[in-house]
Structure 1
């Protein structure tokens, strides 16, 4: 699955210029690539972001989260979200364990065994 160049460009804009509050990415089946589906304006809220995640389809997203530390210092973190609503999983009736992995060690047979007990 390829990632369209526009995805990288828009993410770079979010990261360096803060021109977007969030980006929602969609897998375009016909083109066999990940594309930008929605860009959030810097003034958009978290509610605006969640309103752009479909209730019955999977998406990838990044969200630029602003917050204050315990010392009242403003910070921000870019958060990656793999959106997978329950309604999209119902198509695969019979799944008993759900696992998310970012490298092979997080989905080794020992992990399968520990999650199966």
Structure 2
């Protein structure tokens, strides 16, 4: 298979190393990958048709985009079974998701920033919308919002704005906006006072991946996080959490103040 599928397998391994998926989930994806490699070998020597190979490749990619594919027995019997499998109709496009916050801003003015929004995608093929990037700089440069959340849209193609918190919002409001069973990226403009009385603030990044989130979601967010963050200049700290107890306001505040002392 092509480099993109190998990169997807490596992304899955990274998710395993971060504890976002189980060993069984990774083994299932790896088995699907190895099976596809064997089908590719059969294609190269003319034992199966190109369209049968493409169907098998889609099956592997489906393990990453739509859930873990079931493991199968590798070998010539597996190749023959794949070749005999009739083509499947394409999946129906997902319905548009209504934002979790009806006041999510749109058509945000371009705020610039050190880096310009690239036209590329992450290794998982997910892009970042212009509004998603401009919102961060609106927070950083104009302090228009106290916090924001971003999500991967239902099509699995773009990082978009999910929710925002006004200037009066606090850490508790930020945590309350995190979903119980899905992942999110978040940024909070954290205010604090130093030992010598200085009032400062730091932009902190949160990678939220609760245990109850689907494996599909954890894998997409894990493989897209660094690409999304590459557009956000000015972040001071990153936190990763699967439970709210891991990111109490006290613990986060202590980490921010320790950063200032360093």
5+ unaligned residues in a row in structure 2: which ranges?
Answer: 1-125, 217-224, 227-262
SS in 1 for 2:160: strand
Match of 2:177 in 1: 52
Q: Distance between the aligned counterparts of 1:83 and 1:33, measured in 2?
A: 17
Task: Pick the aligned partner of 2:212 from 81, 87, 111.
Answer: 87
Report the number of matched residues.
Answer: 93
Query: Where in structure 2 are the equivalents of 1:30-41 lying within 5 Å?
Result: 30=155, 32-41=157-166
Match of 1:6 in 2: 131
Runs (4 or more) in structure 1 with deviation over 3 Å come to: none
Match of 2:148 in 1: 23
* Higher strand fraction (1 or 2): 1
Q: Distance between the aligned counterparts of 1:81 and 1:45, measured in 2?
A: 15
SS in 1 for 2:192: strand
Q: Distance between the aligned counterparts of 1:30 and 1:87, measured in 2?
A: 21
**1:73 to 1:40, Cα distance in 2 relative to 1, 3 A:** same
Corresponding position: 1:77 with 2:217: no
Q: Distance between the aligned counterparts of 2:177 and 2:196, measured in 1?
A: 33
TM-score (norm 1): 0.74
Q: What whole-Å deviation, never above 9, does each CA across 1:21-41 have from its counterpart, x for those lacking one?
A: 001000013160000010110
Task: Pick the aligned partner of 2:192 from 58, 67, 85.
Answer: 67
Q: Distance between the aligned counterparts of 2:162 and 2:197, measured in 1?
A: 35
Q: Distance between the aligned counterparts of 2:205 and 2:172, measured in 1?
A: 16
Shift in Å at residue 87 of structure 1? Answer: 1.3
5+ unaligned residues in a row in structure 1: which ranges?
Answer: 93-100, 103-117
Q: Distance between the aligned counterparts of 1:69 and 1:79, measured in 2?
A: 17
TM-score (norm 2): 0.34
Q: Distance between the aligned counterparts of 1:30 and 1:56, measured in 2?
A: 18
* Higher helix fraction (1 or 2): 2
Of residues 24-33 and 67-76 in structure 1, the stretch that sits farther from structure 2 once superposed is 24-33
Q: Distance between the aligned counterparts of 2:133 and 2:213, measured in 1?
A: 26
SS in 1 for 2:190: strand
